[in-house]
Structure 1
Protein backbone atom coordinates (compact mmCIF):
# COMPACT_ATOMS: atom_id res chain seq x y z
CA UNK A 1 0.00 0.00 0.00
CA UNK A 2 1.31 3.44 -0.93
CA UNK A 3 1.78 6.11 1.75
CA UNK A 4 -0.89 8.25 0.05
CA UNK A 5 -4.17 6.90 -1.31
CA UNK A 6 -6.84 8.66 -3.36
CA UNK A 7 -10.55 8.81 -2.56
CA UNK A 8 -11.17 6.47 -5.49
CA UNK A 9 -8.74 3.91 -4.04
CA UNK A 10 -10.48 4.12 -0.67
CA UNK A 11 -13.97 3.96 -2.18
CA UNK A 12 -13.00 0.78 -4.04
CA UNK A 13 -11.62 -0.75 -0.82
CA UNK A 14 -14.56 0.09 1.47
CA UNK A 15 -15.96 -2.96 3.20
CA UNK A 16 -12.76 -5.02 3.12
CA UNK A 17 -12.38 -6.93 6.39
CA UNK A 18 -8.74 -5.88 6.84
CA UNK A 19 -9.34 -2.18 6.09
CA UNK A 20 -9.51 0.19 9.07
CA UNK A 21 -10.28 3.87 8.54
CA UNK A 22 -9.42 6.36 11.28
CA UNK A 23 -10.50 10.00 11.43
CA UNK A 24 -7.71 11.86 13.25
CA UNK A 25 -9.18 15.36 13.11
CA UNK A 26 -7.91 17.62 15.90
CA UNK A 27 -8.33 21.32 16.54
CA UNK A 28 -6.50 23.84 18.67
CA UNK A 29 -8.40 24.48 21.93
CA UNK A 30 -9.21 28.10 21.07
CA UNK A 31 -10.95 27.40 17.75
CA UNK A 32 -14.33 26.55 19.22
CA UNK A 33 -14.56 23.44 17.04
CA UNK A 34 -15.22 19.97 18.45
CA UNK A 35 -13.53 17.21 16.45
CA UNK A 36 -15.60 14.35 17.86
CA UNK A 37 -18.87 16.23 17.30
CA UNK A 38 -17.88 16.93 13.71
CA UNK A 39 -16.99 13.25 13.25
CA UNK A 40 -20.43 12.21 14.49
CA UNK A 41 -22.05 14.74 12.16
CA UNK A 42 -20.31 13.26 9.10
CA UNK A 43 -17.50 10.80 8.48
CA UNK A 44 -16.30 8.28 5.91
CA UNK A 45 -18.35 5.06 6.13
CA UNK A 46 -16.81 2.57 8.54
CA UNK A 47 -14.40 5.07 10.10
CA UNK A 48 -13.61 5.25 13.81
CA UNK A 49 -12.48 8.40 15.64
CA UNK A 50 -8.79 8.56 16.61
CA UNK A 51 -8.86 11.05 19.49
CA UNK A 52 -5.43 12.70 19.64
CA UNK A 53 -6.31 14.33 22.97
CA UNK A 54 -7.23 11.00 24.56
CA UNK A 55 -4.55 8.80 22.97
CA UNK A 56 -1.87 10.68 24.86
CA UNK A 57 0.18 10.55 28.05
CA UNK A 58 -2.22 11.96 30.65
CA UNK A 59 0.56 12.06 33.26
CA UNK A 60 2.61 14.57 31.25
CA UNK A 61 2.18 18.31 31.88
CA UNK A 62 2.64 18.77 28.12
CA UNK A 63 -0.28 18.37 25.71
CA UNK A 64 -0.83 15.36 23.40
CA UNK A 65 2.43 13.63 24.27
CA UNK A 66 2.97 10.09 22.99
CA UNK A 67 1.59 7.48 25.43
CA UNK A 68 3.38 4.30 26.43
CA UNK A 69 3.08 1.12 24.37
CA UNK A 70 0.51 -0.57 26.60
CA UNK A 71 -1.88 2.37 26.49
CA UNK A 72 -1.45 2.87 22.74
CA UNK A 73 -2.11 -0.79 21.96
CA UNK A 74 -5.19 -0.84 24.19
CA UNK A 75 -6.69 2.34 22.74
CA UNK A 76 -5.86 1.45 19.14
CA UNK A 77 -7.38 -2.00 19.62
CA UNK A 78 -10.52 -0.38 21.01
CA UNK A 79 -10.88 1.35 17.64
CA UNK A 80 -11.06 -2.05 15.97
CA UNK A 81 -7.51 -2.12 14.65
CA UNK A 82 -5.92 -5.59 14.63
CA UNK A 83 -2.39 -6.66 13.82
CA UNK A 84 -1.88 -6.73 10.07
CA UNK A 85 -4.80 -4.46 9.17
CA UNK A 86 -4.48 -1.89 6.42
CA UNK A 87 -4.95 1.48 8.11
CA UNK A 88 -6.07 4.64 6.31
CA UNK A 89 -5.96 7.94 8.17
CA UNK A 90 -7.66 11.20 7.29
CA UNK A 91 -8.70 14.48 8.89
CA UNK A 92 -10.70 17.62 8.30
CA UNK A 93 -8.38 19.98 10.14
CA UNK A 94 -6.27 22.96 9.00
CA UNK A 95 -3.19 21.51 10.70
CA UNK A 96 -3.44 18.23 8.70
CA UNK A 97 -3.52 16.29 11.94
CA UNK A 98 -3.79 12.84 10.35
CA UNK A 99 -0.01 13.11 9.96
CA UNK A 100 0.29 13.19 13.77
CA UNK A 101 -1.70 9.94 14.05
CA UNK A 102 0.44 8.48 11.23
CA UNK A 103 3.63 9.36 13.13
CA UNK A 104 2.24 7.87 16.34
CA UNK A 105 1.53 4.60 14.54
CA UNK A 106 5.01 4.59 13.01
CA UNK A 107 6.51 5.27 16.45
CA UNK A 108 4.98 1.96 17.51
CA UNK A 109 6.04 0.01 14.42
CA UNK A 110 2.72 0.15 12.57
CA UNK A 111 2.40 1.15 8.91
CA UNK A 112 -0.48 3.30 7.69
CA UNK A 113 -1.45 5.51 4.77
CA UNK A 114 -3.03 8.94 4.46
CA UNK A 115 -6.04 9.87 2.36
CA UNK A 116 -4.66 12.53 0.02
CA UNK A 117 -6.80 15.64 0.35
CA UNK A 118 -8.52 14.36 3.49
CA UNK A 119 -12.21 14.50 4.26
CA UNK A 120 -12.67 17.75 2.34
CA UNK A 121 -11.65 16.07 -0.91
CA UNK A 122 -13.81 13.03 -0.14
CA UNK A 123 -16.87 15.28 0.26
CA UNK A 124 -15.92 17.47 -2.69
CA UNK A 125 -15.94 14.40 -4.92
CA UNK A 126 -19.44 13.48 -3.77
CA UNK A 127 -18.45 10.37 -1.82
CA UNK A 128 -20.84 8.87 0.77
CA UNK A 129 -20.71 9.80 4.46
CA UNK A 130 -22.10 8.32 7.67
CA UNK A 131 -23.39 10.03 10.78
CA UNK A 132 -23.42 9.08 14.44
CA UNK A 133 -20.77 7.64 16.78
CA UNK A 134 -18.63 4.70 15.71
CA UNK A 135 -18.98 1.39 17.58
CA UNK A 136 -16.10 -0.79 16.35
CA UNK A 137 -15.55 -4.28 17.73
CA UNK A 138 -12.45 -4.33 19.91
CA UNK A 139 -9.38 -6.07 18.49
CA UNK A 140 -5.85 -6.94 19.55
CA UNK A 141 -2.96 -5.13 17.92
CA UNK A 142 0.75 -5.71 18.47
CA UNK A 143 2.99 -2.68 18.89
CA UNK A 144 6.76 -2.38 18.81
CA UNK A 145 8.12 0.98 20.04
CA UNK A 146 10.66 2.57 17.70
CA UNK A 147 12.76 5.11 19.66
CA UNK A 148 14.43 6.26 16.44
CA UNK A 149 11.20 8.10 15.62
CA UNK A 150 11.22 10.26 18.76
CA UNK A 151 13.51 12.90 20.24
CA UNK A 152 13.53 14.24 23.79
CA UNK A 153 14.56 17.65 25.09
CA UNK A 154 17.93 16.27 26.20
CA UNK A 155 18.57 14.72 22.79
CA UNK A 156 17.72 17.95 20.98
CA UNK A 157 19.90 19.95 23.36
CA UNK A 158 22.82 17.57 22.82
CA UNK A 159 22.36 17.95 19.09
CA UNK A 160 23.03 21.68 19.34
CA UNK A 161 26.65 20.71 19.96
CA UNK A 162 26.88 17.51 17.94
CA UNK A 163 25.07 18.86 14.86
CA UNK A 164 24.33 15.27 13.85
CA UNK A 165 20.75 16.09 12.86
CA UNK A 166 19.13 19.05 11.13
CA UNK A 167 16.29 20.84 12.92
CA UNK A 168 13.23 21.88 10.91
CA UNK A 169 10.42 23.90 12.51
CA UNK A 170 6.91 23.65 11.03
CA UNK A 171 5.44 26.76 12.69
CA UNK A 172 4.51 29.99 10.94
CA UNK A 173 7.33 32.44 10.18
CA UNK A 174 5.93 34.95 12.69
CA UNK A 175 6.05 32.44 15.54
CA UNK A 176 9.44 31.14 14.44
CA UNK A 177 11.05 34.58 14.42
CA UNK A 178 9.36 35.62 17.65
CA UNK A 179 7.47 38.47 15.99
CA UNK A 180 4.24 36.80 17.10
CA UNK A 181 4.30 36.34 20.85
CA UNK A 182 3.29 33.03 22.37
CA UNK A 183 0.01 33.07 24.28
CA UNK A 184 0.71 30.17 26.63
CA UNK A 185 1.77 31.54 30.06
CA UNK A 186 5.50 31.28 30.72
CA UNK A 187 6.34 30.38 27.14
CA UNK A 188 9.12 32.34 25.44
CA UNK A 189 8.90 33.40 21.81
CA UNK A 190 11.32 32.38 19.06
CA UNK A 191 12.85 29.08 18.01
CA UNK A 192 15.51 26.49 18.77
CA UNK A 193 18.91 27.82 17.64
CA UNK A 194 20.04 26.51 14.28
CA UNK A 195 16.58 25.41 13.14
CA UNK A 196 15.29 25.97 9.64
CA UNK A 197 11.69 27.10 9.17
CA UNK A 198 9.31 25.44 6.69
CA UNK A 199 5.68 26.13 7.66
CA UNK A 200 3.55 22.97 7.50
CA UNK A 201 1.11 24.67 5.08
CA UNK A 202 3.85 24.93 2.43
CA UNK A 203 3.70 21.18 1.77
CA UNK A 204 0.16 21.27 0.36
CA UNK A 205 -1.54 22.41 -2.81
CA UNK A 206 -4.42 24.87 -2.60
CA UNK A 207 -6.93 21.98 -2.64
CA UNK A 208 -5.33 20.30 0.39
CA UNK A 209 -3.54 17.56 -1.53
CA UNK A 210 0.16 16.93 -1.06
CA UNK A 211 2.59 18.58 -3.43
CA UNK A 212 4.58 16.50 -5.90
CA UNK A 213 7.77 14.94 -4.44
CA UNK A 214 9.97 17.22 -6.57
CA UNK A 215 8.26 20.25 -5.05
CA UNK A 216 8.59 18.80 -1.55
CA UNK A 217 12.31 18.32 -2.05
CA UNK A 218 12.63 21.89 -3.31
CA UNK A 219 10.99 23.21 -0.14
CA UNK A 220 13.72 21.60 1.95
CA UNK A 221 16.54 22.59 -0.37
CA UNK A 222 15.39 26.21 -0.45
CA UNK A 223 15.92 26.35 3.33
CA UNK A 224 19.30 24.63 3.22
CA UNK A 225 18.00 21.28 4.48
CA UNK A 226 19.62 18.20 2.95
CA UNK A 227 16.93 15.53 2.80
CA UNK A 228 19.53 12.74 2.74
CA UNK A 229 20.83 13.82 6.16
CA UNK A 230 18.98 13.10 9.44
CA UNK A 231 16.24 15.54 10.42
CA UNK A 232 14.44 16.35 13.67
CA UNK A 233 11.05 17.96 13.09
CA UNK A 234 9.61 20.37 15.64
CA UNK A 235 6.67 22.77 15.94
CA UNK A 236 4.50 24.17 18.71
CA UNK A 237 3.33 21.02 20.47
CA UNK A 238 4.37 18.11 18.24
CA UNK A 239 1.31 18.10 15.96
CA UNK A 240 2.26 19.89 12.73
CA UNK A 241 5.88 18.69 12.97
CA UNK A 242 4.50 15.36 11.76
CA UNK A 243 3.80 17.02 8.39
CA UNK A 244 7.56 17.43 7.94
CA UNK A 245 8.18 13.82 8.95
CA UNK A 246 5.59 12.56 6.46
CA UNK A 247 6.95 14.77 3.67
CA UNK A 248 10.41 13.28 4.19
CA UNK A 249 8.83 9.81 4.25
CA UNK A 250 7.37 10.52 0.81
CA UNK A 251 10.91 11.37 -0.30
CA UNK A 252 12.22 8.07 1.08
CA UNK A 253 13.96 9.46 4.16
CA UNK A 254 12.86 8.70 7.74
CA UNK A 255 12.92 11.54 10.26
CA UNK A 256 12.44 11.96 13.99
CA UNK A 257 9.97 14.21 15.81
CA UNK A 258 10.66 16.24 18.95
CA UNK A 259 7.46 15.46 20.81
CA UNK A 260 7.72 18.22 23.41
CA UNK A 261 8.52 20.81 20.73
CA UNK A 262 8.26 24.51 21.60
CA UNK A 263 5.79 24.13 24.49
CA UNK A 264 8.56 22.25 26.29
CA UNK A 265 11.65 23.99 24.92
CA UNK A 266 10.26 27.51 25.15
CA UNK A 267 9.13 27.03 28.76
CA UNK A 268 12.36 25.48 30.02
CA UNK A 269 14.51 28.04 31.86
CA UNK A 270 17.84 26.56 30.73
CA UNK A 271 17.29 26.03 27.00
CA UNK A 272 18.77 28.56 24.54
CA UNK A 273 16.26 30.46 22.42
CA UNK A 274 16.79 32.35 19.20
CA UNK A 275 14.73 35.04 17.51
CA UNK A 276 14.74 36.47 14.02
CA UNK A 277 15.10 34.63 10.73
CA UNK A 278 16.94 31.33 10.45
Structure 2
Protein backbone atom coordinates (compact mmCIF):
# COMPACT_ATOMS: atom_id res chain seq x y z
CA UNK A 1 0.00 0.00 0.00
CA UNK A 2 2.84 2.38 0.81
CA UNK A 3 4.51 1.68 -2.53
CA UNK A 4 1.25 2.49 -4.27
CA UNK A 5 1.01 5.78 -2.37
CA UNK A 6 4.60 6.61 -3.28
CA UNK A 7 3.80 5.92 -6.91
CA UNK A 8 0.76 8.19 -6.75
CA UNK A 9 2.84 10.99 -5.18
CA UNK A 10 5.51 10.57 -7.83
CA UNK A 11 2.86 10.77 -10.56
CA UNK A 12 1.44 13.93 -8.96
CA UNK A 13 4.90 15.55 -8.88
CA UNK A 14 5.47 14.53 -12.49
CA UNK A 15 2.11 15.97 -13.48
CA UNK A 16 2.92 19.24 -11.71
CA UNK A 17 6.33 19.44 -13.40
CA UNK A 18 4.82 18.73 -16.81
CA UNK A 19 2.08 21.30 -16.24
CA UNK A 20 4.57 23.97 -15.25
CA UNK A 21 7.06 23.08 -17.98
CA UNK A 22 7.36 26.04 -20.37
CA UNK A 23 6.03 25.24 -23.79
CA UNK A 24 8.57 25.77 -26.54
CA UNK A 25 11.51 26.23 -24.16
CA UNK A 26 14.72 26.43 -26.13
CA UNK A 27 17.14 28.08 -23.65
CA UNK A 28 17.88 28.36 -19.94
CA UNK A 29 16.07 31.71 -19.83
CA UNK A 30 12.80 29.93 -20.63
CA UNK A 31 13.05 27.86 -17.44
CA UNK A 32 13.17 30.90 -15.14
CA UNK A 33 10.16 31.59 -12.90
CA UNK A 34 7.70 34.25 -14.00
CA UNK A 35 8.66 36.53 -11.07
CA UNK A 36 12.32 36.43 -12.02
CA UNK A 37 11.49 37.13 -15.66
CA UNK A 38 9.40 40.13 -14.62
CA UNK A 39 12.22 41.40 -12.41
CA UNK A 40 14.78 40.99 -15.20
CA UNK A 41 12.49 42.68 -17.72
CA UNK A 42 11.88 45.57 -15.33
CA UNK A 43 15.63 46.09 -14.84
CA UNK A 44 16.21 45.96 -18.60
CA UNK A 45 13.44 48.49 -19.21
CA UNK A 46 14.91 50.78 -16.56
CA UNK A 47 18.34 50.66 -18.19
CA UNK A 48 16.86 51.15 -21.66
CA UNK A 49 14.81 54.09 -20.42
CA UNK A 50 17.90 55.69 -18.88
CA UNK A 51 19.85 55.16 -22.09
CA UNK A 52 16.97 56.61 -24.13
CA UNK A 53 16.84 59.71 -21.94
CA UNK A 54 20.62 60.11 -22.24
CA UNK A 55 20.55 59.83 -26.03
CA UNK A 56 17.59 62.19 -26.23
CA UNK A 57 19.36 64.79 -24.09
CA UNK A 58 22.51 64.47 -26.21
CA UNK A 59 20.48 64.88 -29.39
CA UNK A 60 18.68 67.93 -28.00
CA UNK A 61 22.01 69.39 -26.89
CA UNK A 62 23.59 69.10 -30.34
CA UNK A 63 20.46 69.80 -32.38
CA UNK A 64 19.05 72.88 -30.68
CA UNK A 65 20.40 76.37 -31.26
CA UNK A 66 18.23 78.10 -28.69
CA UNK A 67 19.67 79.75 -25.62
CA UNK A 68 18.97 77.88 -22.38
CA UNK A 69 16.23 79.37 -20.24
CA UNK A 70 18.22 78.87 -17.03
CA UNK A 71 21.86 78.82 -16.08
CA UNK A 72 23.66 75.56 -16.77
CA UNK A 73 24.95 75.51 -13.20
CA UNK A 74 21.41 75.63 -11.79
CA UNK A 75 20.23 72.99 -14.24
CA UNK A 76 23.06 70.63 -13.30
CA UNK A 77 22.35 71.23 -9.60
CA UNK A 78 18.68 70.40 -10.12
CA UNK A 79 19.69 67.29 -12.06
CA UNK A 80 21.91 66.11 -9.22
CA UNK A 81 19.16 66.73 -6.69
CA UNK A 82 16.59 64.89 -8.82
CA UNK A 83 18.98 61.97 -9.28
CA UNK A 84 19.68 61.81 -5.55
CA UNK A 85 15.96 61.92 -4.77
CA UNK A 86 15.30 59.15 -7.28
CA UNK A 87 17.97 56.94 -5.74
CA UNK A 88 16.64 57.63 -2.25
CA UNK A 89 13.06 56.88 -3.33
CA UNK A 90 14.19 53.67 -5.01
CA UNK A 91 15.98 52.56 -1.84
CA UNK A 92 12.94 53.48 0.28
CA UNK A 93 10.61 51.47 -1.96
CA UNK A 94 12.91 48.44 -1.76
CA UNK A 95 13.04 48.70 2.03
CA UNK A 96 9.26 49.02 2.20
CA UNK A 97 8.82 45.92 0.04
CA UNK A 98 11.30 44.02 2.18
CA UNK A 99 9.51 45.12 5.34
CA UNK A 100 6.15 44.11 3.90
CA UNK A 101 7.52 40.70 2.93
CA UNK A 102 9.02 40.14 6.37
CA UNK A 103 5.79 41.23 8.04
CA UNK A 104 3.78 38.87 5.84
CA UNK A 105 6.10 36.00 6.70
CA UNK A 106 5.89 36.75 10.43
CA UNK A 107 2.10 36.84 10.21
CA UNK A 108 2.10 33.48 8.44
CA UNK A 109 0.47 34.78 5.28
CA UNK A 110 3.11 33.69 2.79
CA UNK A 111 5.65 31.37 4.39
CA UNK A 112 6.38 27.91 5.69
CA UNK A 113 7.76 26.86 9.06
CA UNK A 114 11.36 26.72 7.85
CA UNK A 115 11.26 30.25 6.45
CA UNK A 116 9.50 31.50 9.56
CA UNK A 117 12.21 30.04 11.80
CA UNK A 118 14.93 31.66 9.68
CA UNK A 119 13.16 35.02 9.83
CA UNK A 120 12.80 34.78 13.62
CA UNK A 121 16.50 33.93 13.93
CA UNK A 122 17.49 36.85 11.69
CA UNK A 123 15.22 39.27 13.55
CA UNK A 124 16.64 38.10 16.88
CA UNK A 125 20.19 38.72 15.64
CA UNK A 126 19.11 42.09 14.25
CA UNK A 127 17.59 43.19 17.57
CA UNK A 128 20.70 42.03 19.43
CA UNK A 129 22.94 43.92 17.03
CA UNK A 130 20.75 47.01 17.36
CA UNK A 131 21.00 46.85 21.16
CA UNK A 132 24.79 46.54 20.93
CA UNK A 133 24.93 49.51 18.57
CA UNK A 134 22.83 51.62 20.94
CA UNK A 135 25.05 50.61 23.84
CA UNK A 136 28.16 51.50 21.86
CA UNK A 137 26.59 54.82 20.84
CA UNK A 138 25.93 55.66 24.48
CA UNK A 139 29.53 54.80 25.36
CA UNK A 140 30.78 57.02 22.53
CA UNK A 141 28.60 59.91 23.74
CA UNK A 142 29.89 59.49 27.30
CA UNK A 143 33.47 59.41 26.03
CA UNK A 144 32.88 62.57 23.98
CA UNK A 145 31.43 64.33 27.02
CA UNK A 146 34.44 63.29 29.10
CA UNK A 147 36.76 64.47 26.33
CA UNK A 148 34.98 67.82 26.22
CA UNK A 149 35.33 68.22 29.98
CA UNK A 150 39.04 67.39 29.77
CA UNK A 151 39.50 69.95 26.99
CA UNK A 152 37.76 72.61 29.07
CA UNK A 153 39.88 71.70 32.10
CA UNK A 154 43.06 71.79 30.01
CA UNK A 155 42.13 75.15 28.50
CA UNK A 156 41.45 76.61 31.94
CA UNK A 157 44.74 75.24 33.23
CA UNK A 158 46.62 76.74 30.28
CA UNK A 159 44.90 80.08 30.82
CA UNK A 160 45.82 80.05 34.50
CA UNK A 161 49.41 79.11 33.69
CA UNK A 162 49.61 81.87 31.11
CA UNK A 163 48.28 84.37 33.63
CA UNK A 164 50.80 83.11 36.17
CA UNK A 165 53.67 83.56 33.71
CA UNK A 166 52.45 87.05 32.86
CA UNK A 167 52.32 87.99 36.54
CA UNK A 168 55.81 86.61 37.09
CA UNK A 169 57.07 88.57 34.10
CA UNK A 170 55.55 91.76 35.47
CA UNK A 171 57.11 91.13 38.88
CA UNK A 172 60.54 90.55 37.31
CA UNK A 173 60.20 93.68 35.20
CA UNK A 174 59.30 95.78 38.24
CA UNK A 175 62.26 94.46 40.20
CA UNK A 176 64.54 94.92 37.23
CA UNK A 177 63.25 98.44 36.70
CA UNK A 178 64.05 99.29 40.29
CA UNK A 179 67.52 97.81 40.04
CA UNK A 180 68.51 98.75 36.47
CA UNK A 181 66.04 100.98 34.56
CA UNK A 182 68.35 101.20 31.56
CA UNK A 183 68.26 97.44 31.10
CA UNK A 184 64.46 97.50 31.10
CA UNK A 185 64.43 100.12 28.36
CA UNK A 186 66.84 98.07 26.28
CA UNK A 187 64.71 94.99 26.79
CA UNK A 188 61.56 96.80 25.66
CA UNK A 189 63.40 98.14 22.64
CA UNK A 190 64.65 94.65 21.83
CA UNK A 191 61.13 93.21 22.13
CA UNK A 192 59.78 95.85 19.74
CA UNK A 193 62.56 95.10 17.28
CA UNK A 194 61.91 91.35 17.49
CA UNK A 195 58.17 91.95 16.98
CA UNK A 196 58.88 94.04 13.88
CA UNK A 197 61.23 91.37 12.51
CA UNK A 198 58.66 88.63 13.09
CA UNK A 199 55.99 90.69 11.33
CA UNK A 200 58.29 91.12 8.34
CA UNK A 201 59.07 87.40 8.32
CA UNK A 202 55.35 86.57 8.33
CA UNK A 203 54.73 89.00 5.47
CA UNK A 204 57.56 87.49 3.44
CA UNK A 205 56.29 83.94 3.99
CA UNK A 206 52.70 84.91 3.13
CA UNK A 207 53.71 86.80 0.00
CA UNK A 208 55.82 83.89 -1.22
CA UNK A 209 53.05 81.41 -0.41
CA UNK A 210 50.55 83.55 -2.35
CA UNK A 211 52.90 83.50 -5.36
CA UNK A 212 53.51 79.76 -5.33
CA UNK A 213 53.50 79.65 -9.14
CA UNK A 214 56.77 81.62 -9.07
CA UNK A 215 58.59 79.06 -6.92
CA UNK A 216 59.40 76.99 -10.01
CA UNK A 217 60.70 80.02 -11.90
CA UNK A 218 62.62 81.67 -9.06
CA UNK A 219 64.48 79.10 -6.89
CA UNK A 220 65.75 81.78 -4.51
CA UNK A 221 62.17 82.20 -3.24
CA UNK A 222 62.35 78.68 -1.83
CA UNK A 223 65.50 79.61 0.08
CA UNK A 224 63.79 82.75 1.39
CA UNK A 225 60.81 80.67 2.47
CA UNK A 226 63.07 78.30 4.38
CA UNK A 227 65.03 81.16 5.94
CA UNK A 228 61.98 83.07 7.20
CA UNK A 229 59.59 80.28 8.14
CA UNK A 230 60.65 80.26 11.82
CA UNK A 231 60.07 83.25 14.09
CA UNK A 232 62.67 84.56 16.50
CA UNK A 233 62.54 85.39 20.20
CA UNK A 234 64.81 86.83 22.87
CA UNK A 235 66.10 83.33 23.56
CA UNK A 236 66.93 82.92 19.87
CA UNK A 237 68.79 86.23 19.82
CA UNK A 238 70.70 85.29 22.98
CA UNK A 239 71.66 81.96 21.50
CA UNK A 240 72.82 83.60 18.27
CA UNK A 241 74.91 86.10 20.24
CA UNK A 242 76.44 83.31 22.27
CA UNK A 243 77.32 81.37 19.13
CA UNK A 244 78.89 84.45 17.55
CA UNK A 245 80.96 85.04 20.67
CA UNK A 246 82.17 81.46 20.68
CA UNK A 247 83.09 81.68 17.00
CA UNK A 248 85.07 84.87 17.58
CA UNK A 249 86.90 83.25 20.49
CA UNK A 250 87.77 80.26 18.34
CA UNK A 251 89.15 82.52 15.61
CA UNK A 252 91.25 84.47 18.06
Q: Whose Rg is larger?
A: 2
Query: TM-score scaled by structure 1?
Result: 0.16
User: Going by fraction, where is strand more abundant, 1 or 2?
Assistant: 1
Query: TM-score scaled by structure 2?
Result: 0.17
Structure with the greater relative contact order (CA < 8 A, sep ≥ 6): 1 or 2? 1
